[in-house]
Amino acid sequence: MIEARNIEKSYGTNENRFQVLKGISLKIKDGDFAVILGASGSGKSTFLNTISGLESPDKGQVLYDNTDLCALSDSELTEFRKDNVGFIFQQYYLLPNMNVDKNVKMGADLAKNKDYRTIIKAVGLGEKLHKYPSELSGGEQQRVAVARALAKKPKVLFLDEPTGALDEQTGRQVLDYICRLQKEFGFTIVMVTHNQNIAEMATTVIKMNSGNVSEIYTNATVKTAYEIGW
């Protein structure tokens, strides 16, 4: 269980101070697929970065079961991220001078996972082990990023606009892989997206508005990546 308790975060100082998160409290259950929706500037990425341990809140607590991230030192927080969370962003951040195998192995080495090629195969890139990022399509590059994040066997996968740079067909394909891998490995998903349709794939939908959570609901039934609108 991830629990945010009264999270506040501001940027800037004095008259330029801007409060991005205005006291957010919520819980995300293990194995959940949570989508965070909201207008541009509503604080979605800041909230994601805060509950994933990339940024510290000014006030409040981020609890993973009984561990309060805000009470950890920088080195403890780095260890925590290494052992528990995976990240996927709109930009894939692959290393250009390493092939698919090496890019994914980097993630796998963090968890001493020798079996990482299973994940490369699971994202459909088993035939492309020796290709470099520049030789891959955008969708393939994002799938390498998915494999790299999952190769370290995270308990929680955080995604910030993972399909933002992809066309519809490729976007659906990447989401489909992520969902299938979640069923296989059982990790929790927390995804920020602009695309309202993707919320229909989620078990929990968190709506943000101007630094607050305006609504949280659960979907009784969920759709697949190929059933949603785009």
Residue numbers at the binding site for ligand ATP (CB under 6 A): 11, 20, 38, 40-46, 194
Query: Which position has the token pair 């030192």?
Result: 73
How many residues are listed for the chain in this entry? 230
Whose Cβ is closer to ligand ATP: residue 11's or residue 217's? 11
How many Cα neighbours within 13 Å face the side chain of 113?
23
Whose Cβ is closer to ligand ATP: residue 17's or residue 114's? 17
Whose Cβ is closer to ligand ATP: residue 57's or residue 107's? 57
Whose Cβ is closer to ligand ATP: residue 38's or residue 133's? 38
Beta pairing, strands 2-11 & 59-64: antiparallel
Min dist. Cβ of residue 182 to ligand ATP (A): 23
Min dist. Cβ of residue 126 to ligand ATP (A): 34
Whose Cβ is closer to ligand ATP: residue 13's or residue 221's? 13
